[in-house]
Structure 1
Amino acid sequence: MSKPRGVDWLVLALIALGALLVIAPFYLILVNSFKSPVDYANSGPLALPQSIDLSGLTAFWERVNFPEKLWNSIFISSLVAALAVLISLLNAFAIGIGRVRGRSWIVLLFLMANLLPQEALLFPLYYMFKEIGLYDNIWSVIIIFTVIQAAFGTYLLSSVFGTFPKEILEAASLDGATRWQILWRVVFPISRPTLSVLLIFFFIWTWNEFLIPLTFLASNANQTVPVAISVLQGDRLMDVTTTSASALLGIIPTLIFFLIFQRTLTRGITAGAVK
């Protein structure tokens, strides 16, 4: 076994440095969330808390009605993820396997839709949802993000389904399977790892969205966790410890979600690499 070369040590050092840069903000959030304002003023942001103080967590929890905001984020993110994956699957099956005419142009159209900045969508969407009475309604955000995420999912799955083994599809057709049966009994089981990865990413991406929920969810009762954190910070009513506590409470749900589905994510990526 050869000894590590200088380049290997350099790469390892860069990786360690990158890991420290990623971990540092989480460390600051964690230690300062359990400090009192006096403790923070005396010891600074880097020191460990002298004693566990939950006043920052309690203040943020009560001030924004965190359980309500948490439910809004979970409901919106879960529904968007499920609907976007379903629509992506149906669209990609028609485009990638059904071989509709103009397939390449349709896939290109979905790719271009993903390149549009959200700022360009705000005014027309705002006007449209105002006209149909869905402004300041969580269903407006659900509809918007379902379409946005499904556009990316359709583009990705169409490329995957375009290389789907034709022999499997032909064998299913010879056995008398309809297109609907081919979709749910052949394509869906084989594509489940990829769909699982999309579901996880769609949930996390939707959870972290800020601009569109801020624009379309004006009332306090409809706000999501990221919007609640930003609005409260804008009120200039929070000290550093409460700000850190708000960031910690905003991170914990997605961290729990990731840990629960970590094995599913790993299997999905591994299956995609093997294919």
Structure 2
Amino acid sequence: MSTDINPGSARRGLRSYAVLAAVTAFVLAFLAPFLIILLNAFKTGADYRANGSLSLPTSWNWGILADVWERVGFTQKLLNSVQISLGVVLIAVVLALLNAYAIGIGRVRWRTAFLVFFLGVNILPQEGLVYPIYYLFKEVGLYDGKFGYTLLVGITYSAFGTYLLSSVFAGFPRELIEAAAMDGAGRWTILWRIVLPMSWPTLSVMCVFFFVWSWNEFLYPLVLLISNDNQTVPLGLSVLQGQYTSDPTSMSAAALLGVIPMIVFFLIFQRTLTRGVTAGAVK
């Protein structure tokens, strides 16, 4: 009986192990900051100073989360972040859908110029826009208001959504549009009855990303939302870091509180995100 090993199979096996090792190293490197936060979120200050940030807690300080929750006013900031993020998703998706329908399916004039404009909005840095927006909001009375901030971020994100959906709608089956038009369907009927249901996988992915992006925004709310009652979660957690003082354990607990809602959000919408990405890839 021959015991020779196929060289091709051996090489494929080595490549598989190498890929597995690389993926494992990447996952560990990605999870390392979260593990460090988890370790330090329940330490006492004395324990952190004595044993450092990489040691296990000698005693678990379970009350630190409640203490940080009260100090930050986390309930109000959590509600603000949820309200603002949901509003941003609604504004951005509706505007992107209408714009992309006109550009990708309606084939408006100067389509390329519009796409270049929306692409340009995406690449403009926030640092270059924040001061003009600050003075504009001061003039029109939208400064330090959740409505104005939500409107600003929603319109900004809609530029990316328009650019993305326009490329998707450009390949939309024209036969369906023509058949619906021959049956007497108007533009609004075609949009809501045909285009929207078939585009829902892409729209669902956009909703998830827009929600996460809005939740993590820091520069705009730092400049435009100065009242404590209007601040979002990332901005509220930043108050624990002073210029001359800092409490690493409280900051770790605050970071844990900030990341838990996103983990819950992804667990709830994991299937929606997976189906959307898979549908887009198959298409």
TM band (smaller chain) = over 0.9
Contact map agreement 1:36 1:55 (CA 8 A) in 2: no
The Cα of 1:129 is off from its aligned counterpart by 0.6
The Cα of 1:265 is off from its aligned counterpart by 0.2
Q: Give yes or no for the alignment of 1:163 onto 2:171.
A: yes
Contact map agreement 2:149 2:224 (CA 8 A) in 1: yes
The Cα of 1:255 is off from its aligned counterpart by 1.0
2:142 to 109, 134, 140: 134
Alignment match, 2:262:
254
Distance in 2 between residues matched to 1:141 and 1:234, nearest whole Å: 26
Report sequence identity in percent: 55
The Cα of 1:165 is off from its aligned counterpart by 0.4
Alignment of 1:196-235 (within 5 A): 196-234=204-242
Alignment match, 1:189:
197
The Cα of 1:7 is off from its aligned counterpart by 3.7
Unaligned runs of 5+ in 1: none
Contact map agreement 2:77 2:230 (CA 8 A) in 1: yes
Alignment of 1:55-94 (within 5 A): 55-94=63-102
Alignment match, 2:3:
none
Alignment match, 2:183:
175
Q: SS at 1:234's partner residue?
A: coil
Cα deviation code 1:152-189 (max 9, x no counterpart): 00000011001100011111111111110000000000
Contact map agreement 2:68 2:250 (CA 8 A) in 1: yes
Cα deviation code 1:119-149 (max 9, x no counterpart): 1111111111101111111122111111111
TM-score, normalization: structure 1?
Answer: 0.96
Contact map agreement 1:138 1:217 (CA 8 A) in 2: yes
Distance in 1 between residues matched to 2:62 and 2:69, nearest whole Å: 11
The Cα of 1:256 is off from its aligned counterpart by 0.6
Distance in 1 between residues matched to 2:225 and 2:243, nearest whole Å: 17
Q: Please, which moves more after superposition, 133-142 or 92-101?
A: 133-142
Q: SS at 1:263's partner residue?
A: helix
Distance in 1 between residues matched to 2:197 and 2:13, nearest whole Å: 45
Distance in 1 between residues matched to 2:211 and 2:248, nearest whole Å: 29
Stretches of 4+ moved more than 4 A in 1?
235-238
The Cα of 1:8 is off from its aligned counterpart by 3.5
Which AA in structure 2 matches 1:182? I
Distance in 1 between residues matched to 2:265 and 2:244, nearest whole Å: 31
The Cα of 1:238 is off from its aligned counterpart by 4.3
1:107 to 82, 101, 115: 115
Contact map agreement 1:197 1:268 (CA 8 A) in 2: yes
Which AA in structure 2 matches 1:47? S
Distance in 1 between residues matched to 2:41 and 2:187, nearest whole Å: 54
Q: Please, which moves more after superposition, 28-37 or 48-57?
A: 48-57
Contact map agreement 1:29 1:245 (CA 8 A) in 2: yes
The Cα of 1:74 is off from its aligned counterpart by 0.7
The Cα of 1:52 is off from its aligned counterpart by 2.4
Distance in 2 between residues matched to 1:141 and 1:232, nearest whole Å: 24
Structure 1 or 2, whichever has the larger Rg, is 2
Which AA in structure 1 matches 2:168? V
Q: Please, which moves more after superposition, 236-245 or 159-168?
A: 236-245
Which AA in structure 2 matches 1:168? L
Distance in 2 between residues matched to 1:187 and 1:51, nearest whole Å: 57
Give the superposed CA RMSD: 1.5
Distance in 1 between residues matched to 2:151 and 2:129, nearest whole Å: 13
The Cα of 1:73 is off from its aligned counterpart by 0.7
The Cα of 1:5 is off from its aligned counterpart by 4.2
The Cα of 1:59 is off from its aligned counterpart by 2.4
The Cα of 1:56 is off from its aligned counterpart by 2.5
Q: SS at 2:241's partner residue?
A: helix
Unaligned runs of 5+ in 2: 1-5
Distance in 1 between residues matched to 2:239 and 2:114, nearest whole Å: 40
1:148 to 152, 156, 159: 156
Cα deviation code 1:26-60 (max 9, x no counterpart): 00111211111222233322222233212321221
